[in-house]
Structure 1
């Protein structure tokens, strides 16, 4: 009987703590939320970008390429630690921007493997 009581106590505690963590994630509001703008540079291409960081940390935006004279929609995410990953299309054929966001500054590297392009990007929170 003691074994069953201990098992029920452990299961109840585990459930309470699990729900608490899940609830925290559901109510998480990214400190990076808002509009971010910047530019990217590389040997063969450069351009500008505008990203909207949503309260969940999800990212949507537009990247404008001077070389291709085109705009690309991008989606991605910024993690709680500021790590950013944004892509247009697939990772194998689209542009991929990785890096970090801090309080008001963002920077990192980008690649566009379909065209064998790469470089750096930087920006600020508006």
Structure 2
């Protein structure tokens, strides 16, 4: 009886080890893909937001799709906050609220969207600046 338990243990242990190794390899492959990913929207985008208040927008999209949003009001006041593209390869901006309550939603594919801040709202549009050589 005890011998059969040992025999089962000797058979099952290597199978568990092989299973966990393939999981580790899959995770490493996913990590490599994420590290090598370059967002097609990477670069600097500039434009304006208009509506009940208006100003300038600057979007700096990083390699992985995170976005540094700079909002300029009245040519003097600058607010910087961070947003992301909704998923890998996506052009949709995940709604992210700035410290002052400014929420930008839309798409870099259409280069436009809407914004909200408290009881104000409006639209925005941007264009991608050429990448320096």
The offset of 1:69, in angstroms, is 6.1
Per-residue Cα deviation, 1:22-50 (whole angstroms, up to 9, x for no partner): 121122221111110111121x2122211
Q: What RMSD in Å do the two structures reach over aligned CA positions?
A: 2.0
Gaps of 5+ in 1: none
Give the number of aligned pairs: 117
From the two aligned structures, give the one with the greater helix fraction: 2
Q: Is it true that 1:77 corresponds to 2:84 in the alignment?
A: yes
SS in structure 1 at match of 2:39 = coil
d(CA) in 1 for partners of 2:55 and 2:22? 53
Q: Is it true that 1:36 corresponds to 2:42 in the alignment?
A: no
Tell me the TM-score normalised to structure 2 length: 0.76
Shift >3 Å, 4+ stretches? none
From the two aligned structures, give the one with the greater strand fraction: 1
The offset of 1:2, in angstroms, is 2.4
User: Max radius of gyration: which structure?
Assistant: 2
Report which stretch shifted further, 76-85 or 8-17: 76-85
Alignment of 1:99-118 (within 5 A): 99-102=106-109, 105-113=110-118, 116-118=119-121
SS in structure 2 at match of 1:11 = helix
Tell me the TM-score normalised to structure 1 length: 0.79
